[in-house]
Amino acid sequence: MPVFLDANDSDFEVAFSRLLNSKREDSPDVDYVVAEIIADVRTRGDEALLDLTQKFDRFALTVETLEISQDEISEYILKVPDKERVALELAANRIRYYHERQLPQDAMWRDGSGAELGWRWTPVAQAGLYVPGGLASYPSSVLMNAIPAKVAGVGRLVMTVPTPDGVINPLVMLAAKISGVTEIYRIGGAQAVAALAYGTESIAPVDKITGPGNAFVAAAKRRVFGKVGIDMIAGPSEILIIADGVNDPDWIALDLLSQAEHDKSAQSLLITTDGKFANSVAKAIDKKLKTLQRKSIAEASWRDFGAIITVPSLDIAVDLCNRIAPEHLELCVKDPLLLSKKIKHAGAIFLGALTPEAIGDYVGGPNHVLPTARSSRFSSGLSVLDFMKRTTLAAMSADVLRDVGPAAVTLAKSESLEAHGLSVTARLDKLT
């Protein structure tokens, strides 16, 4: 049974805090294993990749077949049905258009003292995209990671995708082609992350790694951070829906289940001002669960981590939402835009009953790589900016240096950094 809470109950705060702090993620202690895998790849390079692929993916690779050739990619793309190809191209176009609007502008100006100041944006030179394989093979994730990188101007975009038992998803190959991926290697797990970070004989290292993965991939990304940049360490998916009573219970039930079917550790929450509606949604979920192909996954998620919370007002709902800081937030209320302005923490907000979260997963335009586990309190979803760097610019004239230089000397002396101060004094002496 999911949790049912009422904000009017005397023990609500205790129960809500328990829900808020519940541990959902199954976090086996894989760090030691991952450390060994990374060390192995750094030491033996390609040979380690071949051995580990045989061990974990039951697939015999050679150095010559590490990379999926352009001819192979073309053959797989031909297997994609026309309907799926058209849908993927539509999604790619919408994602690309949205992310093009995110491109930042360079700036240069002269401040009140006469100094020239500014910044310049440049792309990461090369990025690596990790794509899960097997059952968790999502072409939409390829689009969401690769397109912002290409819009940012990344020149070399490398994709790694495990192929358990040699199986490749043709739609993933098409997504990579549409997105501008330049190299694809059939490797996965911590060994793929290590190869992207440190390089091997066949795979040149990258500057940043993005993309979802299991506990081993997450641990590997943590370990290589600093050597390369990473996007985020994502946990199980989650959705919060704030709804009034003027909604279709079946719609809301399906929206909640759309996240529950991702993972047994996923979380689906409903906050509503209408107790009767809350009961209707609960009944609808029980009914819809029986028809889902991924029933066992969705049922476990809803049973173990789902919750329906009844509140006296939307203001209370907003307060609870800001404490939850959800990855996905649906506002199924009369004026969703107005209510959204009160939301401080959410990865993505879907406005109105006609905008289910699943639209955002595929064809909405905004990125679906979002902060989980309450991290929207301090971070954002993946964007073009994740593949760009800002370099500051400053130019002092003689007059400006005379004006502000003495203060720099004073501060350098206060920090006992003699050469810092002398580097400014030498120029001031020359000017006088």
**Active centre residues (catalytic):** 327-328
Distance in angstroms (rounded) separating the CA atoms of residues 174 and 7: 48
CB 328 within 8 A of CB 370: yes
Q: Quote the distance between the C-alpha of residue 220 and its chain's center.
A: 16
Terminal CA-to-CA distance of the chain, rounded, Å? 81
Distance in angstroms (rounded) separating the CA atoms of residues 134 and 213: 12
Backbone angles phi, psi at 366, to 5 degrees: -60, 160
Give the pairing of strands 307-310 and 267-272: parallel
CB 322 within 8 A of CB 343: yes
Residue 289: both structure tokens together: 């669960």
Q: Which of 186, 225, 175 is nearest to 65 (CA)?
A: 186
CB 332 within 8 A of CB 242: yes
Distance in angstroms (rounded) separating the CA atoms of residues 44 and 317: 55
Give 3's strand partners: 307
